[in-house]
Structure formats: structure tokens, C-alpha cells
Amino acid sequence: MTAIPQAHTWRTARSARVTALCVLAVSALTMLTGCGEEDPDAGTNGVGRLPAQKIQTKSRAAADAAPAVHLAGTVVTGGVTFKLDMRLKSGGGSGSVTSKGSSFRLLRVGEQLFLKADAAFWNHGGDTSAAGKLDGKYVKVPQEDPAYKKFSGFTEKDVLLPALLTLHGKLATVGHHEQAGTRTIRVTGDGGPGGTLDVSLEGKPYPLRLVRGGGAGTLIFSEWGKDFSAAEPDKSETVDYGGQLPGA
């Protein structure tokens, strides 16, 4: 029998040890990188890798540049809760508002604001005769009427969004989430009390969900960039009350 040279035996053993060490190293690396989990930002728009302040800035810029948006949810202001379901664009807005048990529709075309509600809404002012005439009609709101300033802001994208999309306190990211099937990165103000904002990781970094600080409401944003019709209602559906609106 031919003897195996010692040098060959040593090289074989050494090769086996190197292979074992390589396997251990790969295993350790796999554990350190999350046991093979995929990068949560892989295939996204990349904003999830940015600092929280930059994420908010990019999100605001995307919202400002979008031609239209649909928002729905609640806004609490002055101790009053408003439930909104609005479509907004630079030239107008339309949708519904509910507050204190009353619901009404708003429609703005350019500078013209129309309000549509039932008789019960208009009867709050005590004028039953006017309430009957205005019931179910689009009522043109005079710009000097206090109701114009109060309600037109709900229809103005360039006014409403900057007022809403604000987080307070120190900003931080708190992980990856999902909103209506879209991956998001969440940004908080002061860890949550200053508000939370979910920003899309797919396509443009649009805001998708906002929880306002201090319990001031929650809003869902969708249909970014989707246009909608905002035309003045037919004259048969419209009442020009002329003076200050009753009960609004």
C-alpha cells in the first residue's frame, strides 16, 4: 500500500477547516442581516432611506405639485369636529362636510362657492320660509358672507393641505407600514403626540395617511393627480340668495 504523504494530509485538513469557517461566516452574516429578509426599501422610490425631515419635505413637495387629490376623514378645529370627504384641485373643489349632526355639500369653481343642504340645515337660523326655498339647492355664497371664509378653505387645495400636512416637534421615522395596499414609511412628530404621517414608498412620495397631533383628526389621502369635474351647477339647481345666508 502506498502511504499518503503527510503534506497532502495536512492540506486536506486545512482545506476542510477553511470550508467550515466560510460556512460559519456566511451563517453569521445571514443572522446579522435579518436571517435573509429582503431590504424593505428594495424596489421603492428610496425615500425610506432618507432622514425624517427630508421625507416630510419631499412629501409636501409632491402634494403641492399634484394637480388633484381626494381626502377623507376628520378634522378637529376650535373644538368642533368636521367629517370631510373632499376632492380638491387648484381651480376648484367639491365634496361633503358633516359637523354637529348637519351635513352639507360644498362646490367651488374658481372664486364661486356654492353650498347645498337640506331644509333642516337652513332652519338653524329660524327662517323657515327661507329654509324651504333653499332646501336641496346649490346656494351661491356671497364672498362677503362669513360663511364664505369659514367654508371655502375646505375646498382650496393650496390652503387646506399646507395647514394639515404639518407635524410638530422632533421628527423621526418609525418603520415601514402599509396603507390600502401601498407600502409606506411612517414619520412621527415627538414620537407620535406631534402627529404621524405615512408617506408612499411607491411612485411619488405622496402623503397617504395623516394622524394630526393632539387628537385633531385623521385623514386618508388618495387619487393623487386624478382629475374630476368641478363645474358650476345648472341654473335650475341654483339659488342666488343675494345677502347674508340664513343659519349657515
Closest CA to 46 of 221, 195, 183, 248: 183
Residue 55 pLDDT class (50, 70, 90 cuts): very high
The answer on pLDDT for 52 being more than 90 is yes
| pLDDT top residue among 33 and 160 | 160
CA distance 239 to 135: 10
Q: Name 158's Cβ contacts closer than 8 Å, sequence gap at least 6.
A: 64, 90
Mean pLDDT of 233-240: 88
At residue 247, the pLDDT reads: 59
- Inter-axis angle of helices 52-65 and 157-164, to 10 degrees? 170
At residue 15, the pLDDT reads: 53
**DSSP 8-state symbol, 246:** S
Please identify, in words, the CATH class of the domain defined by 47-227. Answer: mainly beta
Closest CA to 95 of 105, 104, 103: 105
Cell numbers linked to 42: 428594495
Mean pLDDT of 222-239: 92
35 backbone dihedrals φ, ψ, rounded to 5° = 55, 40
Q: Find the range with the poorest average confidence among 52-56, 84-88, 126-130, 153-157.
A: 126-130
* pLDDT tens column, 104-116: 999 999 999 999 9
* pLDDT tens column, 172-226: 999 999 999 999 999 999 999 999 999 999 999 999 999 999 999 999 999 999 9
* pLDDT tens column, 6-25: 544 445 545 555 444 444 44
Residue 27 pLDDT class (50, 70, 90 cuts): very low
Residue 57 pLDDT class (50, 70, 90 cuts): very high
The answer on pLDDT for 28 being more than 50 is no
- Does residue 24 contact residue 32 with C-beta atoms inside 8 Å? no
Residue 239 region by backbone torsions, left for phi larger than 0, else alpha for psi between -120 and 50, else beta? beta
- Does residue 151 contact residue 97 with C-beta atoms inside 8 Å? yes
At residue 124, the pLDDT reads: 65
pTM assigned to the model: 0.80
At residue 25, the pLDDT reads: 44
CA distance 98 to 100: 7
* pLDDT tens column, 58-94: 999 999 999 999 999 999 988 999 999 999 998 899 9
At residue 31, the pLDDT reads: 45
- Does residue 149 contact residue 156 with C-beta atoms inside 8 Å? no
At residue 32, the pLDDT reads: 43
